[in-house]
Amino acid sequence: MPLSPFDGGGTFTVLNPSNGQAIGSVALADLAATDAAIERAHAAFPAWRAIAPGERARLLRSFAAAVDAHIDELAALEVIGSGHTIGNARWEAGNVRDVLNYYSAAPERHFGRQIPVAGGVDITFHEPLGVVGIIVPWNFPMPIAGWGFGPALAAGNTVVLKPAELTPLTALRLGELARDAGIPEGVFTVIPGKGSVVGERFVTHPLVRKVCFTGSTDVGKGIMRGCADQVKKLTLELGGKNANVVFEDADLEKAAASAPGAGLDNAGQDCCARSRILVQASVYDRFLELLQPAVEAFRVTDPSSPDAEMGPLISAKQRDSVLAGIADADVAYRGQTVEDTGGFWMPPTVVMPRSAADPVWSQELFGPVLAVMPFTDEADAIAKANDTEYGLSGSIFTRDLGRALRVARGVESGNLSVNSHSSVRYWTPFGGFKQSGLGRELGPDAPDSFSEVKNVFISTDD
């Protein structure tokens, strides 16, 4: 188990969500240790920003190679520490490698512009910000960390990263791999600790110039208020209650077969989970008939098993909160579960909301729950999809290309997919509308959001 180089803030016992057993304890940083780490990151900044672009690129590629050489180890840590299925965990570690490789091309390509002006030359530079603080939630510990530190480091910033209390292990290991790969001391520091201590200090410490927060909408709002004090730059990736819209002309078999994966992957603890399924009324009954065997076949088992499609939830608290959220719901059917292990299991559950005001329809449960509701026509589908404070992702199933595009343009979400459920590719932008977030991560422009544009005019007058 990777060790925390920090202390002073007590310890946190990490549990294996599959059986509830302790797998080790992680020492947490206190305020003084956090401040010292931020100051070290600040001290490391001038040399990191000044490093030749090709050399920074080489170091990021060597970090990516170190991650690649440890995919199995990182994945195994995520299986025991977070309950992720082994297939997902391998993908997640590979995603960190890919993000690092993708952004390793940025130092040599983060171009400014030359803008025509009279009397001289006008050029722009992308200046790094300084220390960037990244705050990560427990649901995807590795990818969400990488989406922040990959482009932030590439743009010439130094990074302090706080993993979620529940899931610090893979982040600590990534910190060790960065050091082994030659990333200089202080450039990338993983600081395990409490949100109220380490996370808040990223917001209040004047040397932290940007906060990248992924987590719940409520905590995100508090961070936004805190950042206002210093007009600190901020990216927010928050909650979601995403719609999967199935039209009568769709390939219904394909839509029904893919709906469980889209809503139940990572036990539904996914901000992009398609937890609201909207089905055109004329095919509603047929869709529910097709969905039932697909949900029942969704393989819920020991996450280290290669055929596992869903493991446990992250904690007893999270499972109990999801169960409380569906306590009064009309349940259509349930899928598989695992009993008597002491772990935090629950079955995939399909519920029928009584109205759009039903909490199972309107609130993000962050668990393996699919709510299904009919709609009448295109306008009704768009209105129902948009009837939420969130706007992160969504899917549209139809064979009509014009309709697919009209609905995609009408749904207020940052990431939509047609006849599929993909939302996250590291080379395309990711982020939310409305209360799902602020700013975008990933894609070709991410290094811009970790830099300031500086405009310089050079007079050519005698």
Which residues form the interface with ligand NAD (CB under 6 A)?
Answer: 135-140, 144, 162, 164-165, 195-196, 199-200, 214-216, 219, 222-223, 237-240, 271, 364, 366, 392, 432, 436-437
Whichever of 192 and 347 has its CB closer to ligand NAD, that residue is 192
Pairing of strands 114-115, 120-128: antiparallel
Residue 111's contacts (CB-CB under 8 Å, 6 or more residues apart) are none
Instruction: Please name the helix (run of DSSP H) or strand (run of DSSP E) that holds residue 294, with its range, or none.
Output: helix 284-297
CB of 355 to ligand NAD, least distance (A): 23
Whichever of 66 and 360 has its CB closer to ligand NAD, that residue is 360
CB of 28 to ligand NAD, least distance (A): 10
CB of 143 to ligand NAD, least distance (A): 9
CB of 221 to ligand NAD, least distance (A): 10
Q: Catalytic residue numbers?
A: 237, 271
CB of 460 to ligand NAD, least distance (A): 47
Which residues does residue 214 pair with via DSSP β-bridges, in sequence order?
237
Residue 422's contacts (CB-CB under 8 Å, 6 or more residues apart) are none
Cα 41 to Cα 36, 207, 329: the distances in Å are: 9, 9, 49
Whichever of 368 and 437 has its CB closer to ligand NAD, that residue is 437
- d(CA 154, CA 412) in angstroms, rounded, equals 31
Please write down the HEC assignment for all residues of 298-361: CCECCCCCCCCCECCCCCHHHHHHHHHHCCCCCEEEECCCCCCCCCCCCCCEEECCCCCCCHHH
**Residue (of 270, 343, 354) closest to 301 by Cα position:** 343
Q: Which two tokens stand for residue 289?
A: 């008939």
Q: Are 53 and 108 in contact (CB under 8 A)?
A: yes
Whichever of 315 and 337 has its CB closer to ligand NAD, that residue is 315
- d(CA 433, CA 257) in angstroms, rounded, equals 28
CB of 108 to ligand NAD, least distance (A): 28
Cβ burial, residue 52 (10 Å; 0-12/13-18/19+): exposed
